[in-house]
Amino acid sequence: MHPTRLAPAVLLVSLAVTACGPEPTAESERQTAAATCQEHVERSWESLVSAEFDASSEITVTNADDPWEYEVVASAQTENDSGEVERADYTCIAVNNSGDWFVVDLRAVG
């Protein structure tokens, strides 16, 4: 590509990257932490693959410094083979390390 054509392309890309909105904060990423935990639960617990997750998760920022850490306390309901509704409560620790999300702990409650 010709250098004079490359400069406008680089400018457009840099404007698009910086104009996407405000920088995320530990507080603004709480719902992403809950979604990360939910996806991990669906992959880890076979009985909850088709579960309905409660929308009222308790999400606490436990570390607002990089890496951000969250404790998510939530529950899900699913039907077993007999058609009975089962409820699973869990606590999950999710970490956002500069945009990379990880679940570092997952425990059943109760």
Question: What is the pLDDT at residue 61?
Answer: 96
Mean pLDDT of 21-26: 88
Report which of residues 108 and 1 the model is more confident about.
108
Statement: residue 3 has pLDDT above 60: no
For residue 87, list its beta bridge partners.
77
* Residue pair 106/92 in contact by the 8 Å Cβ criterion: yes
Spell out the domain ranges in the chain. 26-109
Cα 48 from Cα 31, distance rounded (Å): 20
Mean pLDDT of 77-95: 88
More confident residue, 53 or 20: 53
Measure Cα distances from 40 to 37, 80, 84 in Å: 5, 20, 24
Q: What does the pLDDT average to over 93-108?
A: 95
Share of the chain above pLDDT 90, in %: 48
